Amino acid sequence: MPHPRLKLGKTPHVPDDRDLLFAKYAKKIKLPEAPNVFGFGHLFADNTGWRMLGNGPDDSVAPGFSGAGDCVLAGGGHETMVWNKARGGPGVTITGANSIADYSALTGYVIGDDATDQGTDMREAAKYRKATGLIDANGKRHKIAAYLFLTPGDFHQLVTATYIFGCAGVGIEFPDSAWAQYDDGQPWDVTDPNSPIDGGHYIPTVGSTSAKDEITAVTWARRQPITKAFIEQYNDESVVYLSEEMIRSNGEGLHGFDLATFKADLAAL
C-alpha cells in the first residue's frame, strides 16, 4: 500500500543499447577497492540537513505541500549537495522548491494537479542534468559532465562506483515490505520475496558505515542502510555521474579520482 506521507516516483527502466556502461569503463583500468567504511553519509544531519526536497511533506515548496513523486530530482539535489560539501568547496543549498521546479520543468508536473505527478525516467533526468542542470536556492544551475549506467543488481560494482564518484543514483522496484522497515529505522532487506511492488524509487548511495554487506543511501530526508540482498533483488537500474563539482582544488576527485584521465577514457569508449 502507498505510504500516507512519502512518495515514490521513478518510472520503469527501459533498456537502451546506446547507454554508456560502467562495466565497459571498468575493463579499461584497475579500479580502487572500496574500504568497508567510507563515504559522506554524515555530511548532513537527518531531517534538518538532508531535507525532504519535495518528495514528501515539505513546506519549503508551499505551505501544506504534501509531496510529489520527484525522487529522481530530489536525489540529484542530494548528490549535488554531497559533491560540493565533500570537496571542501563553498557548499550549496537546494530546497524542496528547487527540486519541484526541476521536476515540473522536466516532466510537466503542476503543483496541485495530481494527474501530472507521473514520476521521472532516470535516463531523461540524466540528460536534463547534463544539458540544463539542477537549480539551487541562489538560482545557479549545477550540470553533470557525463554519466554511466551500472549493471543492475551488481552490489560490488555499486559500492565501487559510489566510492570513486561519491554517490551513485540507484533505481529500485520498491517492495511494500520496505515501508515498515523505513518507518522502524531498519535497513532495507529482503524479508518477503513475494512482497508486492508499490512503484519505482530513486535513492543516491553515499557510502557505507558497516563492514557488513550494506551500503547507505539517502531518501526522504535521512540516511537509509540497504543490504546487498535488497540491491540484488530490487535494483533495476543505476547511474553514476561525473560532475566537475566533485573535483577538489588540487584537481583530484573525492578519493583520488582524476578528471582528465576519466574524460580521456570516456572518449575512447
Residue range 72-104, pLDDT digits in tens: 999 999 999 999 999 887 789 999 999 999 999
CA atoms within 13 A on the CB side of 263: 9
Mean residue pLDDT across the chain: 92
HSE of 102, CA atoms in CB hemisphere, 13 A: 36
The total of other beta-carbon atoms located within 10 Å of residue 258's CB is: 13
Mean pLDDT, residues 35-50: 93
Q: How far is CA 234 from the centre of its chain?
A: 15
Provide φ and ψ at 222, rounded to 5°: -155, 165
pLDDT digits (tens, 9 = 90+) for 102-140: 999 999 999 999 999 999 999 999 999 999 999 999 999
Query: pLDDT value at position 212?
Result: 83
Distances in Å between the alpha carbon of 220 and those of 34, 155, 184, 214?
A: 26, 22, 14, 19
Determine what percent of the chain is predicted with pLDDT higher than 70: 94
Reported pTM: 0.94
Weakest-pLDDT range from 61-65, 133-137, 254-258: 254-258
Q: Which neighbouring-strand residues pair with 120?
A: 10
N- to C-terminal Cα distance for the chain?
A: 43
SS3 at position 140? coil
What is the predicted pLDDT for the residue at 205? 98
Amino acid at 24: K
Q: pLDDT band for 22, please (50, 70, 90 cuts).
A: confident
Q: Are 180 and 216 contacting, i.e. CB atoms less than 8 angstroms apart? A: no
Domain 22-268: which CATH number of 3.40.190.10, 3.40.50.1820, 3.90.70.10, 1.10.1660.10: 3.90.70.10
